[in-house]
Chain A
């Protein structure tokens, strides 16, 4: 556990990619195989089940730290993370322990059979034996909130350097249904893929967005300059559903969403067509709600996804279909290295044979002879229930992850939202006394969630006005940050948007900036988080 806590701290202390990889490599070279696989499980989101609810963890921490509940809550407000708050509040420990990560996780997993009193004793003893650094990661694991600021690709890179295996092989092997009890480090790095895990999906090939801003859309000429001969490209509509891989192997079916979540049960309507596919088939496509022969907006799907139980009503209101656009495995063979044109013909053949054409749909290829036609057609995307085009190079293989060049998404909407300013920080140098760095929020139900920080885009005069407002409308201060009365609305533009588990909003923007101050808008008119999420694509 000491090693693991040190690893976490070391990763925390650098934001340089190559340093992170080298820290990971050193760690993986030095710890036992069981620790390696447990670390990998944690890093890929395979957390142990939560055995003690956080209310009890909090309560016992308050007792041990000897502070009242309100002060605990305020401390939590200041720190912003429960595991960290507790680690900071507990009295310095006197004891020690020799358990490694695997042993701690085994203990956590065995808590199920203990009484509440026994759990409490176990937890207080555990805390008493740990350093502050260990307590922090331990709390994160215990409360099921362990997250790490390292992308999977870096972990894969480190493992690939240690094992000599291809990064794509490792990426594939760490996907799917495994846990540290069923999968060993040896399984991961063995030469031959003797894996018999039927459920294992392939890493998704991801597209880059054609870089556009709301101020400037790419012209047909610019697209032509970037992408070249239209004859080398396949265009499809870009659907606003959930990216999914549908698998049928040896009579068993699996549906994986892009977040590496097994979503088979979420989409019962898709099961019959999957069972009817020839065994050894893996399709890539979009799970999407389909009514009267056309796709429904994303929010219909989203309401459905949010439900624990799929009632008859839900199934009737938001029936699912699967729009396939690629075939990754056929007759049990991995065909990802075949060109797209070939994979497409395999897909079309499968589609001809299916009896479930209303459910198993195929993303039609949009014919075009020049970029100008496609450009004009793209503006009618919404009429086609799509959000733009996917452009794929006909001779491209199915890549692992996001690789620039072969797959592009070309969306119709400029990227911008109306948002409310909620925090402010002072600027620097010339503007040291002015509040110039703002944090913006959008609505999530009746709450405002922060999603972006931006500081450029206003005129000096506007900055002074905003500064004046901030200084008179400060609600509270945390260190250098002021919470400001939500009142001012700004239009925020950005170059791209990604999912992010690190941010409260669940999204991270690329290059956000202020387009203009919307003095004409009230905060009620600001956008909601759904609007941002709908821009995520994929």
Chain B
């Protein structure tokens, strides 16, 4: 039997025919990236290939790297293997990577969602023989409401907090969630402030030609007076850090797909949990996989075992990619930043949280 076009080895997803890796978790010579999130775009490879709109964020995050970029639908050949990017709808610059060799087509989804979030290019299904799909939320209890509903909830929450004399602090990952939250905030309610990490990310996106709503960066000079009634967007890692003290009194909202479970909401000790995810929900995953017309689907991060079993039961040829990882630590990144809470579920605020490094695992 011919060697599969893509294989999971100790470094990542490897294309032997083209001699390159997709989203490698160890340094390699040639890395093709689905998107700029830290569990997919790791430091140390010699050469990178990513989508045009990931360029500035990657340079901001990984420093001086050798980076080539291309747009959706463009093609490039590596050792005779045809590579192209297709919208994944996950975050700005996120792509599904399509590789084709000798008539055999594989697609690596990276992370994706089906809804149009109004910020990044919406997901497009790509026909293929084998589809390597994520399944972060591959359990039927995860079903998203329409994003419009959630954004209305966020704006109403902001309005109510302001009426009650409170600031609103909302957490979401600095690439993706933060811009998505920002673009749907109602500026007629008040001003929007950003945590430094998010402001940096937005500046990187601006260098890439992305324009976003007007915001102000929080600095040590920012006074308590100017942030009165404002919305402050921060990464989850800021939660419980001394940085938050300045915003008292505030209500704290957390945006994540995990917020659909009461238990997770309790663990995060958020005042409000908004079920807003950049990943596909249960129905979305099945719909996306079905739309590829693939002969075979491999599942990576998430509820791989259960989801694989279910797909097989409803007639797909599904495999758990998990087994290929061989227990490698790097591949086992969790998909949620954890926070320090005490036994009562309250967040501990006196722990030193380094602001230099953002803990990001999406």
Which residues of A come within 8 Å of B, CB atoms? 12-15, 65, 67-68, 70-71, 74-75, 78-81, 84-85, 88-89, 425-430, 432, 437, 452-455, 471-472, 474, 477, 479-480, 508-512
9 smallest beta-carbon distances between A and B, as pairs: A429-B353, A88-B141, A480-B338, A480-B336, A425-B338, A429-B354, A432-B359, A426-B338, A75-B141
Does B167 make an interface contact (CB < 8 A)?
Answer: no
What's the Cα separation between A400 and B287 when bound, in Å?
Answer: 59
Could you say which of B52-60, B91-99, B121-129, B341-349 contacts chain A?
B341-349
Q: Are A88 and B263 in contact (CB under 8 A)?
A: no
**How many whole Å from B72's CB to the nearest CB in chain A?**
32
Interface of B is mostly: loop
What's the Cα separation between A428 and B334 when bound, in Å?
Answer: 14
**How many whole Å from B336's CB to the nearest CB in chain A?**
4
Does B139 make an interface contact (CB < 8 A)?
Answer: yes
Q: Which of B331-362 contact A (CB under 8 A)?
A: 332, 334-346, 351-354, 357, 359
**Closest partner residue, chain B, to A71 (CB atom):** B310
What's the Cα separation between A12 and B337 when bound, in Å?
Answer: 22
**How many whole Å from A329's CB to the nearest CB in chain B?**
37
Q: Are A427 and B140 in contact (CB under 8 A)?
A: no
Q: Are B345 and A428 in contact (CB under 8 A)?
A: no
**How many whole Å from B42's CB to the nearest CB in chain A?**
14
B353 — which chain A residues lie within 8 A by C-beta? 428-429
Counting chain B CB atoms within 10 Å of each CB, which of A454, A480, A512 scores highest?
A480
What's the Cα separation between A6 and B261 when bound, in Å?
Answer: 17
Other-chain contact of B340, A70, A81, A427 (Cβ < 8 Å): A427
Other-chain contact of A65, B140, B241, B265, B344 (Cβ < 8 Å): B140
Q: Are B342 and A453 in contact (CB under 8 A)?
A: yes
**Closest partner residue, chain A, to B356 (CB atom):** A429
**How many whole Å from A505's CB to the nearest CB in chain B?**
11
Given contacts A88-B141, A429-B352, contact A480 B341 (CB under 8 A): no
Given contacts A81-B262, A477-B334, contact A13 B141 (CB under 8 A): no
What's the Cα separation between A432 and B336 when bound, in Å?
Answer: 12
Does B237 make an interface contact (CB < 8 A)?
Answer: yes
**Selected A-B contacts with CB under 8 Å, 16 pairs:** A13-B273, A14-B271, A68-B310, A70-B309, A71-B310, A79-B141, A84-B262, A88-B143, A428-B359, A430-B352, A437-B341, A453-B341, A477-B332, A480-B335, A480-B338, A510-B343
B339 — which chain A residues lie within 8 A by C-beta? 428
Q: Are A426 and B351 in contact (CB under 8 A)?
A: no
B335 — which chain A residues lie within 8 A by C-beta? 479-480
Q: Are B263 and A80 in contact (CB under 8 A)?
A: yes
B211 — which chain A residues lie within 8 A by C-beta? none
Known: A88-B260, A471-B332. 11 other contacts (CB 8 A): A78-B139, A81-B263, A427-B338, A429-B354, A432-B237, A432-B354, A453-B342, A480-B335, A480-B338, A510-B343, A511-B343
**Closest partner residue, chain B, to A68 (CB atom):** B313
B contact residues, total (Cβ < 8 Å): 47
Does B272 make an interface contact (CB < 8 A)?
Answer: yes
Given contacts A89-B141, A480-B334, contact A15 B346 (CB under 8 A): yes
**How many whole Å from A63's CB to the nearest CB in chain B?**
14
A71 — which chain B residues lie within 8 A by C-beta? 140, 306, 309-310
**How many whole Å from A327's CB to the nearest CB in chain B?**
37
Does B269 make an interface contact (CB < 8 A)?
Answer: yes
Q: Are A429 and B351 in contact (CB under 8 A)?
A: yes
B273 — which chain A residues lie within 8 A by C-beta? 13
Given contacts A429-B351, A437-B338, contact A78 B261 (CB under 8 A): yes
What's the Cα separation between A74 and B141 when bound, in Å?
Answer: 10
A454 — which chain B residues lie within 8 A by C-beta? 343
**Closest partner residue, chain B, to A88 (CB atom):** B141
Counting chain A CB atoms within 10 Å of each CB, which of B140, B240, B343 scores highest?
B343
Given contacts A426-B338, A471-B329, contact A479 B264 (CB under 8 A): yes
**Closest partner residue, chain B, to A433 (CB atom):** B359
Does B258 make an interface contact (CB < 8 A)?
Answer: yes
What's the Cα separation between A65 and B354 when bound, in Å?
Answer: 45
B237 — which chain A residues lie within 8 A by C-beta? 428-429, 432
What's the Cα separation between A79 and B260 when bound, in Å?
Answer: 10
**Closest partner residue, chain B, to A75 (CB atom):** B141
B139 — which chain A residues lie within 8 A by C-beta? 74-75, 78
**How many whole Å from B1's CB to the nearest CB in chain A?**
32
What's the Cα separation between A455 and B339 when bound, in Å?
Answer: 11
What's the Cα separation between A512 and B342 when bound, in Å?
Answer: 9
Given contacts A84-B262, A428-B351, contact A455 B332 (CB under 8 A): no
Counting chain B CB atoms within 10 Å of each CB, which of A15, A432, A511 scores highest?
A432
**How many whole Å from B205's CB to the nearest CB in chain A?**
24
Q: Are B336 and A479 in contact (CB under 8 A)?
A: yes
What's the Cα separation between A67 and B306 when bound, in Å?
Answer: 12
**Closest partner residue, chain B, to A86 (CB atom):** B141
**How many whole Å from A71's CB to the nearest CB in chain B?**
6
**How many whole Å from B325's CB to the nearest CB in chain A?**
13
Q: Are B340 and A509 in contact (CB under 8 A)?
A: no
Given contacts A14-B271, A428-B351, contact A79 B306 (CB under 8 A): no
Q: Are B261 and A429 in contact (CB under 8 A)?
A: no
Q: Are A75 and B140 in contact (CB under 8 A)?
A: yes
Q: Are A512 and B343 in contact (CB under 8 A)?
A: yes
Other-chain contact of B269, A15, A89, A426, A512 (Cβ < 8 Å): A15
What's the Cα separation between A480 and B258 when bound, in Å?
Answer: 10
Q: Which of B241-265 contact A (CB under 8 A)?
A: 241, 258, 260-265
Q: Are B336 and A509 in contact (CB under 8 A)?
A: no
**Closest partner residue, chain A, to B302 (CB atom):** A477
Q: Are A67 and B140 in contact (CB under 8 A)?
A: yes
B352 — which chain A residues lie within 8 A by C-beta? 429-430
What's the Cα separation between A512 and B343 when bound, in Å?
Answer: 7
Counting chain B CB atoms within 10 Å of each CB, which of A427, A452, A474 scores highest?
A427
What's the Cα separation between A74 and B307 when bound, in Å?
Answer: 11
What's the Cα separation between A471 and B327 when bound, in Å?
Answer: 9
What's the Cα separation between A428 and B349 when bound, in Å?
Answer: 11
Given contacts A74-B306, A75-B141, contact A453 B343 (CB under 8 A): yes
A508 — which chain B residues lie within 8 A by C-beta? 343-344
**Closest partner residue, chain B, to A454 (CB atom):** B343
**Closest partner residue, chain A, to B265 (CB atom):** A12
Counting chain B CB atoms within 10 Å of each CB, which of A65, A437, A509 scores highest?
A437
Q: Which of B137-170 contact A (CB under 8 A)?
A: 139-143
A425 — which chain B residues lie within 8 A by C-beta? 338
**Closest partner residue, chain A, to B359 (CB atom):** A432
A480 — which chain B residues lie within 8 A by C-beta? 267, 334-338
A432 — which chain B residues lie within 8 A by C-beta? 237, 354, 357, 359
What's the Cα separation between A74 and B138 when bound, in Å?
Answer: 11
A429 — which chain B residues lie within 8 A by C-beta? 237, 241, 351-354
Q: Are A452 and B343 in contact (CB under 8 A)?
A: yes
**Closest partner residue, chain A, to B345 (CB atom):** A15
B342 — which chain A residues lie within 8 A by C-beta? 453, 511
**How many whole Å from A13's CB to the nearest CB in chain B?**
6
A474 — which chain B residues lie within 8 A by C-beta? 332
**Closest partner residue, chain A, to B346 (CB atom):** A15
**How many whole Å from A432's CB to the nearest CB in chain B?**
5
B332 — which chain A residues lie within 8 A by C-beta? 471, 474, 477
**How many whole Å from A135's CB to the nearest CB in chain B?**
13
What's the Cα separation between A13 and B153 when bound, in Å?
Answer: 13
Q: Are A89 and B140 in contact (CB under 8 A)?
A: yes
**How many whole Å from B330's CB to the nearest CB in chain A?**
11
What's the Cα separation between A14 and B272 when bound, in Å?
Answer: 8
**Closest partner residue, chain B, to A429 (CB atom):** B353
**How many whole Å from B291's CB to the nearest CB in chain A?**
21
What's the Cα separation between A480 and B139 when bound, in Å?
Answer: 16
What's the Cα separation between A453 and B310 when bound, in Å?
Answer: 34
B264 — which chain A residues lie within 8 A by C-beta? 479
What's the Cα separation between A512 and B348 when bound, in Å?
Answer: 13
B337 — which chain A residues lie within 8 A by C-beta? 480
Q: Digit string of B221-252 for contact with A (CB within 8 Å is 1, else 0)?
A: 00000000000000001001100000000000
B265 — which chain A residues lie within 8 A by C-beta? 12
What's the Cα separation between A89 and B337 when bound, in Å?
Answer: 26
